[in-house]
């Protein structure tokens, strides 16, 4: 978990995506609290208060990049381009929706779950007869 968190390549599970948002919000709250405390204790003078917004913006850039990268990887797990995270509420949907089973164009399944497919046969038997109601007539 959290392999290459700033990379836009690959796929991540729902758990990692949810934890990423938790870390993002915690980081943003701590950064805002520190800057707020500096303002309250008058370490930052009223003239410099406008600079505190700039400082907060600069401090929050890495976390914003982090959450964009994690969102793109979660989109990849669902089989979509990373641009899908721009759709309103799609980020919330990604938190609860399952990813694609097996490999997709964005990489291997992070859960390690694959379809169980026999190459020699499909395992299905042909249906001989069906009556008028759609019920299978068994052959003896």
The H or E element spanning position 15 is helix 14-40
Cα separation, 48 vs 46, in Å, equals 5
Domain assignment of residue 60, yes or no? yes
**70 part of a folded domain:** yes
**What is the per-residue pLDDT across 42-70, written as a single tens digit (0 to 9) for each?**
666 655 667 777 888 898 999 999 999 99
Domain housing 37: 14-113
Residue 79 in this model has a pLDDT that exceeds 80: yes
Tell whether 68 is covered by a domain.
yes
Number of structural domains in the chain:
1
pLDDT at 61: 94
Provide DSSP, 83-107: GGGGSTTHHHHHHHS---SS-BTTB
pLDDT category, 20, cuts 50, 70, 90?
Answer: very high
pLDDT of residue 113 exceeding 90, the answer is no
129 strand-pairing partners: 137
Instruction: Report whether pLDDT(132) > 80.
Output: no
Write out pLDDT tens, residues 22-46: 999 999 999 888 888 877 776 666 5
* Spatial contact of 16 and 3, defined as CB atoms under 8 Å apart: no
> Helix axis angle, 14-40 relative to 49-77, nearest 10°?
180
Residue 6 belongs to some domain of the structure: no
């Amino acid at each position: 978990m959290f392999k290459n968190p700033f990379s836009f390549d690959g796929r991540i599970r729902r758990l990692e995506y949810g934890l990423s948002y938790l870390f993002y919000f915690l980081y943003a709250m701590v950064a805002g609290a520190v800057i707020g405390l500096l303002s309250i204790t008058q370490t930052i003078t009223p003239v410099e208060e406008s600079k505190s917004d700039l400082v907060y913006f600069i401090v929050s850039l890495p976390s914003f990049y982090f959450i964009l990268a994690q969102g793109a990887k979660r989109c990849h797990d669902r089989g979509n381009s990373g641009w899908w995270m721009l759709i309103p509420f799609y980020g919330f949907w990604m938190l609860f929706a399952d990813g694609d089973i097996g490999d997709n164009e964005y990489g291997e399944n992070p859960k390690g779950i694959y379809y169980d497919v026999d190459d020699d046969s499909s395992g299905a038997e042909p249906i001989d007869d069906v009556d008028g109601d759609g019920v299978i007539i068994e052959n003896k």
